[in-house]
Amino acid sequence: MCPKIGNDFWAFSFLKKEKEHDTIMETKIKKIVSFRMKRMNKELKENIMQGTLQAFNQKGLKFTMDDIAKILGISKKTIYQVFRDKEALFLETVDYLFDRIKDSEQKIVENPEMDTLQKIHTILGVMPECYQDVDFRQLYQLKEKYPEIYHQVEVRLETGWEMTIALLEQGMQEGVIRPVRIPILKMMLEASLEQFFQRDILLQNEITYAQALQEVVGILMYGIASEGENERGA
């Protein structure tokens, strides 16, 4: 004869299910909290890098962690919880800036309202609108004071050309630009930008980085002959 299943068994089963339910809920809550913490940390990190660009714009490379803390209205300790020192912060800010430039390039490529020639002209001189006022002319001091950061700027200038090269090739196929050796054009633009970061020529001549960049792109795209001379040469 089978023994009767008593109330203790049902109570045990109920408690077991409750425990399993609590464990599942606890796991879900931990995941939600973890996700929110990561998002908050990412936002804090981006805010600090934005503050770094503002401090750099105000004081050049002489900016301090105190300057950033004051701009953001947070404690300096909070900044050091995210970045170990000024150099690590500035190094990551360089990557952050170039990543935003790449985001802008992607938007240009995908813009249905621009033709190929417009896209080429815009992508060669792209600078995200939110960084138009940042005084990049002061970066010429990087090579001497922060060689590792300067090297990172060089690396980022020399890489990530895939979208631009694809547009140039498309432009040549469509006949909107004449056939050119892309490595030569790339080298000319890189060399110009590196000169801006190596010397104080822009500051001496009171030319903003954005103005200099557009001038270089204009010369690369249309040469130095006047419009009438270009038409006669064609």
Tell me how far apart the alpha carbons of residues 190 and 134 are, in angstroms, rounded to a whole number: 20
Tell me how far apart the alpha carbons of residues 34 and 180 are, in angstroms, rounded to a whole number: 51
Inform me whether the pLDDT recorded for 142 exceeds 90. Answer: no
Inform me whether the pLDDT recorded for 72 exceeds 90. Answer: yes
> How would residue 233 be classed by pLDDT, with cut points 50, 70 and 90?
very low
> How would residue 212 be classed by pLDDT, with cut points 50, 70 and 90?
confident
> How would residue 18 be classed by pLDDT, with cut points 50, 70 and 90?
low
pLDDT number for residue 173: 94
Average pLDDT over residues 8-28: 62
Residue 219 per-residue DSSP state: H
pLDDT digits (tens, 9 = 90+) for 75-86: 999 999 999 999
Question: Which residues, in sequence order, are CB contacts of 92 under 8 Å at separation 6+?
Answer: 49, 83
Inform me whether the pLDDT recorded for 161 exceeds 70. Answer: yes
Lowest mean pLDDT among 26-40, 50-64, 110-124, 211-225: 26-40
CATH number of the 15-83 domain: 1.10.10.60
Residue at 110: amino acid letter: E
Nearest partner of 131 among 165, 168, 103, 159, judged by Cα: 103
Lowest mean pLDDT among 7-16, 38-47, 143-152, 160-169: 7-16
Q: Are 109 and 163 in contact (CB under 8 A)?
A: yes
What are the residue ranges spanned by the domains of the chain? 15-83, 113-233
**CA 165 to chain CA centroid, nearest Å:** 19
**CA 233 to chain CA centroid, nearest Å:** 40
Inform me whether the pLDDT recorded for 229 exceeds 50. Answer: no
Q: Are 51 and 62 in contact (CB under 8 A)?
A: no
User: What's the pTM?
Assistant: 0.71
The phi and psi torsions of 82 (rounded to 5 degrees) equal: -100, -40
pLDDT number for residue 184: 92
Lowest mean pLDDT among 21-25, 31-35, 207-211, 221-225: 31-35
56: tokens are 């750099």
